Chains A and B, each alone.
Chain A
Amino acid sequence: MAQAIELIAAGDPVLLAIVALSLRVSGAALLVSTLLGIPVGAFLGLSRFAGRPFLVTLIYTGMGFPPVVVGLFVYLLLSRSGPLAQVESVLIPALFTPGAMVLAQSIIAFPLVAGFTMSAVMGVDPQLALQVQALGATRWQTALTTLVEARSGVLVSVIAGFGGVISEVGAVMLVGGNIDGKTRVLTTAIVLETRKGNFDLAIALGVILLALTFLANGIMLRLQGQDAH
Chain B
Amino acid sequence: MTEPLYRLEGITKDYGERQILQIDSLTIRRREALALVGPSGAGKSTLLRLLNFLETPTNGRIQFQGVSFSADQPLPLPLRRRVTTVFQRPFLLNRSVSANVRYGLRLRGRRVETQAVEAALEQVGLLALAYQPARTLSGGEAQRVALARALVIQPDVLLLDEPTANLDPQNVALIENIVATLNERRGTTLILVTHNIFQARRLAGRAAFMLDGRIVELSDSAAFFNNPRDPRTAAFVRGEMVY
Contacts and interface: CB of A to CB of B under 8 A. Distances in A.
Interface of A: 125, 127-128, 130-138, 141, 145, 149, 227-229
B89 interface: yes
A135 B153 contact: yes
B91 A137 contact: no
Interface in B39-74: 49, 52, 54
A135 B133 contact: no
B107 A135 contact: yes
B149 A228 contact: no
B135 A136 contact: no
A134 B94 contact: no
Chain B interface bracket (under 10, 10 to 19, 20 to 34, 35 or more): 20 to 34
Contact of A135 (B89, B95, B96, B104): B104
DSSP majority for the A interface? helix
Contact of B96 (A128, A131, A149, A229): A229
B158 to A, nearest CB: 11
Nearest to A142: B107
B155 to A, nearest CB: 9
Contact of A228 (B81, B95, B104): B95
Q: Which one of A125, A133, A141, A229 has the greatest number of beta carbons of chain B within 10 Å?
A: A133
A229 B132 CA distance: 7
A224 to B, nearest CB: 12
Contacts of A145: 93
Interface of B: 49, 52, 54, 77, 80-81, 83-85, 87, 89, 91, 93-96, 103-104, 107-108, 133-135, 149-150, 153, 159
A135 B80 CA distance: 9
A65 B52 CA distance: 46
Contacts of B96: 228-229
B154 to A, nearest CB: 12
B84 A134 contact: yes
A139 B93 CA distance: 17
17 contacts: A125-B91, A127-B87, A130-B54, A130-B91, A132-B93, A133-B54, A134-B52, A134-B159, A135-B103, A135-B107, A135-B149, A136-B107, A136-B108, A138-B107, A149-B94, A228-B96, A228-B134
Question: Sorted from nearest, which 4 A-B pairs have the closest CB atoms?
Answer: A136-B81, A228-B133, A131-B91, A134-B85
Nearest to A141: B107
Contact of B54 (A134, A141, A227, A228): A134
Contact of A229 (B77, B91, B133): B133
Contacts of B49: 130
